[in-house]
Amino acid sequence: MRYIEWIVMFAVAGLGIALANFVGFDVGFLDSLPGILILLGISLVAVMISKIVPLKLPIVAYCSILGLLVACPVSPVREGVIEAVNKINFTAPLTMVGAFAGISISDQIKSFLKQGWKMIIVGVLVMTGTFLGSVLIAQLVLSLTNAI
Amino acid sequence: MKKETFIYPSFKARMKNEYRIILAAFLFIVIADFIGQIEVPVGPGKLILFPIFYALILGIISGPEILKFFKTKEVKAASGLVIVAICPFIAKLGINAGASLETVISAGPALLLQEIGNLGTIFLALPFALLLGMKREAIGATHSINRESNLALVTNMFGPDSPETRGSLSIYVVGGMVGTIYFGFLATMTAAIGFFHPYALGMASGVGAGILMASSVASLTAVYPDMAAQISALASTSETISGLTGIYVAIFVGIPLTKKLYEVLEPRFAKLRHEPSEVLTRRQNEEKGKVEEA
């Protein structure tokens, strides 16, 4: 994607977040704006890094690391960033993700129904096993290291 | 540096193809967030429905197989837009992680080691898949949570027409359709057992699939509102680690381990089901081949 495509699409995503934050949580557009600009700024820098750095990491990995850096205790902008972004409710950015994700799998319904009940059971067990395996080890290690 | 290839000849071409998707997404947001969060008690836990689910369902039904509002080329375009929309969300989670850095650091050893737990799918799902009569497709199906990168890897390793790839693709489709809702439900049900610390549940949510993690964390923060910041911080850190290491874990551990277990377990389950064993038949054929060569 060209930069102009990223920028306009991020602006669209920002509008989506503002809309969800307003309809779902009564937070006005102007109150959401600083937080949204920070999130979009981080996302755009992440895109730039992924275009420049030859290392093939997913863009979301850069988003996550950059977010952590701007909000970590040594960051000079920490307080302002955290305060602004806290105005964006946790699920507000997700509604648009759901809309796009739904459209993107909308041509798989027939294929899904053809899988039959066995594959659906196995799929549910795959997710269950992945989650339970992690939570068991996490609980064990957290207790052993006295982190909880 | 390799020159980037673009899907669209120009920015205008992209907008022309995608404006309907964007307008629909805004409409879905208004509808979905107007409905808001709904909690349904189920047994000891609860199923918490979030606007993301309604938007997902609205998206699915508006596609070419039901309401036919979107054409196939728009469906393809939408999967690119998922990445755009999820970037600011992941940035927000990164900020949460930075804000709760102490919690993240004190949970460091647990965060790293629990990644191994993602292999739990193999031990739980593979035996059941074999019990249900699946053969080599079980290897692709159960080696990992089977999101995009895993599907690409399995296709690459076993070939596009292999049973392994069929299995991986099946779970990819099933995960896309039911995963978002099920994963959140799974998290609240596990929380309802009361044994696991919310931190452990938070980090288990990061499995290398952003939308599943989001669903699980949204549910967990609704159950433990006081620990919302720490839960999402741990989940996002775990998700980032999974995103970075997932593919290597699958290549060097997940797939070899699943194959090995399959070779051991498949003959036993075949016997249990009174069916010929795929592994034993293959070995016999290989033996015969060797004898004939000699």
pLDDT tens column, A62-107: 999 999 999 999 999 999 999 999 999 999 999 999 999 999 999 9
pLDDT of res. A97: 96
Whether residue A66 sits in one domain with residue A33: yes
pLDDT for B65 equals 93
pLDDT band at A114 (very low <50, low <70, confident <90, very high): confident
Could you tell me if A98 and A131 lie in one domain? no
For residue B1, what pLDDT is reported? 45
pLDDT of residue B62: 96
Q: Tell whether A95 and A136 lie within a shared domain.
A: no
Residues A57 and A128 in one domain: no
Nearest to A106 among B28, B64, B170 (CB): B64
Assigned token pair, B34: 């107007």
Supply the mean pLDDT for chain A: 95
Task: Provide the chain A residues 64-93 that lie in CB contact (below 8 A) with chain B.
Answer: 64-73, 75, 78, 81-82, 85, 88, 90-93
Across the interface, whether the CB atoms of A134 and B30 are under 8 A apart is answered no
Q: Indicate the DSSP class of residue B45.
A: E
Same domain, A91 and A41: yes
Whether B89 sits inside 8 A of A93 (CB atoms) is: yes
Instruction: Compute the half-sphere exposure of residue B292: CA atoms within 13 Å on the CB side of its CA.
Output: 6
Residues A14 and A84 in one domain: yes
Q: What is the mean pLDDT of residues B86-110?
A: 94
Check CB contact under 8 Å for A138 and B116: no
- Taking an 8 Å cut-off on Cβ atoms, the answer to whether B145 and A127 are in contact is yes
pLDDT at A48 over 80: yes
Q: What is the mean pLDDT of chain B?
A: 93
Contact B50 A94 (CB under 8 A): yes
User: Do A31 and A81 fall into the same domain?
Assistant: yes
- Give pLDDT, residue A120: 95
- For chain A, the C-alpha Rg in angstroms (whole number) is 20
Pairwise CB contact (< 8 Å): A73 & B62: no
**Distance between CA B161 and CA B165 in Å, rounded?**
7
The closest alpha carbon to A59, from A135, A121, A6, belongs to A6
Same domain, A13 and A80: yes
**Cα–Cα dist B161/B163, whole Å:** 7
Chain B residues lying within 8 Å of A46, measured CB to CB: 87, 91
Distance from the B290 Cα atom to the nearest Cα atom in chain A, whole angstroms: 36
Mean pLDDT of B187-192: 95
ipTM attached to this prediction? 0.95
The verdict on a CB contact (< 8 Å) between B101 and A72 is yes
Chain B interface disruption, residue of A3, A6, A65, A68, most B CBs within 10 A: A68
Considering the domain architecture, whether residues A23 and A88 belong to the same structural domain is answered as yes
Determine the structural domain holding residue A130 and report its residue range. Answer: 108-148
Residue in A8, A94, A122 closest to B129 by CB? A122
The closest CB to that of A122, out of B7, B142, B210, belongs to B142
Helix (H) or strand (E) holding B121: helix B120-131
- Is the same domain home to A127 and A97? no
Cβ–Cβ of A5/B89 closer than 8 Å? no
Whose tokens are 């068991």? That residue is: A136
- The whole-angstrom separation of Cα B242 and Cα B112 is 9
Is the model's pLDDT at B2 over the cut of 90?
no
Q: Are A28 and A86 members of one domain?
A: yes
User: What percent of chain A is helix, strand and coil (3-state, nearest 5)?
Assistant: 80, 0, 20
pLDDT tens column, B131-156: 999 999 999 999 999 998 899 999 99
Residue of A nearest to B12 (CA): A5
Q: Find the CB nearest B141 among A63, A100, A122.
A: A122
| The pair of three-digit structure tokens given for residue B20, joined into one six-digit string | 């309907």
Distance from CA of A69 to the nearest CA of B (A): 6
Cα of A49 to nearest chain B Cα, Å: 14
Are both A118 and A77 inside the same structural domain?
no
The residues near B214 (Cβ < 8 Å, ≥ 6 apart) are A91, A94, A97, B52, B89
- Contact flag B51-A94 (C-beta cutoff 8 Å): yes
Number of structural domains, chain A? Answer: 2
Indicate the residue type of B249. V
Residue-wise pLDDT for B19-44, tens only, equals 999 999 999 999 999 999 999 998 88
Mean pLDDT across A29-55: 96
